[in-house]
């Protein structure tokens, strides 16, 4: 993603996921395919959870304070070490 491009909103991403699964679910329902409907329901829930975790990581990384380059005053972006620590903290199993 280019620096000037803004990330897609959480609602838009999750809405797109729902739309994709809803279309497939409706096709399975029209075919009276109960097994496929159950599989799609489980897959949707799993994908939604994974997407929400990824979006949480994205939000955490984009909210990190930028670190100025010494002597230039320019801020190139979030500190990579801080970003890794944030990912580790988010994904740590309890």
Q: Are residues 48 and 16 in the same domain?
A: yes
Provide mean pLDDT across the span 85-90: 72
What are 10-50's pLDDT values in tens digits?
899 999 999 999 999 999 999 999 999 999 999 999 999 99
Residue ranges making up the domain that contains 72: 64-94
Confidence of residue 84 (pLDDT cuts 50, 70, 90): confident
State what percent of residues in the chain have pLDDT above 70: 69
Is 2 within a domain?
no
Q: Cβ neighbours of residue 30 under 8 Å, at least 6 residues apart?
A: none
Is 3 within a domain?
no
Is 38 within a domain?
yes
pLDDT at position 63, please? 76
Do the beta carbons of residue 53 and residue 64 sit within 8 Å?
no
């Amino acid at each position: 993603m280019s620096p000037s491009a803004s990330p897609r909103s959480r609602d838009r991403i999750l809405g797109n996921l729902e739309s994709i699964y809803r279309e497939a679910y409706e096709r399975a329902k029209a075919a009276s395919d109960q097994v496929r409907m159950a599989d799609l329901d489980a897959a949707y829930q799993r994908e939604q959870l994974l997407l929400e975790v990824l979006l949480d990581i994205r939000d955490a990384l984009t909210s990190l304070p930028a670190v100025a380059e010494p002597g230039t005053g320019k801020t190139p972006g979030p500190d990579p070490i801080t970003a890794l620590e944030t990912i580790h903290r988010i994904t740590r199993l309890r």
